[in-house]
């Protein structure tokens, strides 16, 4: 059984897959408590793997995004295997503190200051920028490095930072800008 906050169909609003239709499987619970997190960790329902996959398969897209909370607390190889068997491309949004199943297709890691990473592969680093020193995150080997304004509040500051540090790319929360889930 896995604790699910919600499952919904929308467009990916952040990072490398922005604009891609996806089913979001939002897990409850996290081992970190970030002030800007948009998940209600205490709510959720227990679901079997089969029930989750059945719900995911109600939607016409191929991409599934495991998010949270911290989905790494809840997933394993068997669950990822069921999603792949259903023909899904599995992406995850993680804080990087948990060892993840290797078969995940795309790993987005949002590392937090002072937290040790345990992920073996990262496809994109996405850092919510609040004025902190983000230079150490460029040392993380990944295909993409994104800086993201915190809930669209400091966009101009992030743009200025990226212009001065062009190793970064801008990630906007487009779902918030266009008012979709």
| pLDDT beyond 80 at 9 | yes
Q: Which of 24, 27, 79, 146 is catalytic?
A: 24
Q: Which of 70, 93, 123, 124 is catalytic?
A: 93
pTM of the entire structure? 0.93
| pLDDT beyond 90 at 39 | no
For the question of residue 109 being annotated catalytic, the response is: no
What is the predicted pLDDT for the residue at 43?
Answer: 80
For the question of residue 150 being annotated catalytic, the response is: no
What is the predicted pLDDT for the residue at 126?
Answer: 97
What is the predicted pLDDT for the residue at 173?
Answer: 87
What is the predicted pLDDT for the residue at 179?
Answer: 76
Are 23 and 56 in contact, with CB atoms under 8 Å apart?
yes
C-alpha to C-alpha distance for 137 and 168, rounded to whole angstroms: 10
What is the predicted pLDDT for the residue at 175?
Answer: 77
For the question of residue 38 being annotated catalytic, the response is: yes
Tokens 């004025």 identify what position?
131
For the question of residue 144 being annotated catalytic, the response is: no
Dump pLDDT digits (tens) for 117-154: 999 999 999 999 999 999 999 999 999 999 999 987 89
Q: What is the 3-state secondary structure (H, E, C) of 151-169?
A: CCCCHHHHHHHHHHCCCCE
C-alpha to C-alpha distance for 2 and 122, rounded to whole angstroms: 24
Dump pLDDT digits (tens) for 56-83: 999 999 999 999 889 999 999 999 999 9
| pLDDT beyond 90 at 113 | no
What is the predicted pLDDT for the residue at 30?
Answer: 84
C-alpha to C-alpha distance for 134 and 41, rounded to whole angstroms: 27
For the question of residue 34 being annotated catalytic, the response is: yes
Q: Which of 14, 17, 30, 146 is catalytic?
A: 30
Mean pLDDT, all residues of the chain: 93
What is the predicted pLDDT for the residue at 40?
Answer: 62
Q: Which of 6, 18, 37, 130 is catalytic?
A: 37
H/E segment holding residue 90: strand 89-94
For the question of residue 93 being annotated catalytic, the response is: yes
Q: Which of 8, 36, 38, 113 is catalytic?
A: 38
For the question of residue 46 being annotated catalytic, the response is: no
H/E segment holding residue 26: strand 21-27
For the question of residue 57 being annotated catalytic, the response is: no
| pLDDT beyond 80 at 27 | yes
| pLDDT beyond 90 at 37 | no
What is the predicted pLDDT for the residue at 146?
Answer: 98
Largest CA distance in the chain: 48
Q: Which of 17, 27, 39, 97 is catalytic?
A: 39
Q: Which of 6, 34, 105, 155 is catalytic?
A: 34
C-alpha to C-alpha distance for 34 and 38, rounded to whole angstroms: 9
Q: Is 40 helix (H, G, I), strand (E, B) or coil?
A: coil
């Amino acid at each position: 059984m896995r604790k699910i906050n919600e499952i919904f169909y929308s467009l990916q609003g952040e990072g490398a897959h922005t604009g891609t239709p996806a089913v979001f499987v939002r897990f409850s619970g996290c081992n970190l408590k970030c002030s800007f997190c948009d998940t209600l960790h205490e709510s959720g329902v227990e679901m079997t793997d089969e029930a989750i996959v059945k719900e995911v398969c109600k939607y016409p897209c191929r991409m599934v995004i495991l998010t949270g909370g911290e989905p790494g607390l809840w997933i394993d190889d068997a669950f990822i295997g069921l999603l792949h068997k259903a023909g899904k491309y599995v992406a995850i949004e993680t804080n990087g503190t948990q060892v993840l199943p290797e078969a995940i297709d795309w790993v987005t890691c949002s590392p937090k200051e002072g937290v040790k990473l345990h992920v073996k592969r990262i496809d994109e680093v996405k850092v919510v920028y609040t004025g902190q020193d983000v230079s150490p995150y460029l040392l993380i080997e990944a295909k993409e490095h994104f800086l993201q304004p915190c809930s669209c509040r400091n966009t101009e500051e992030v743009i200025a930072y990226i212009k001065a540090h062009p190793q970064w790319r801008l990630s906007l929360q487009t779902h918030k800008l266009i008012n979709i889930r």
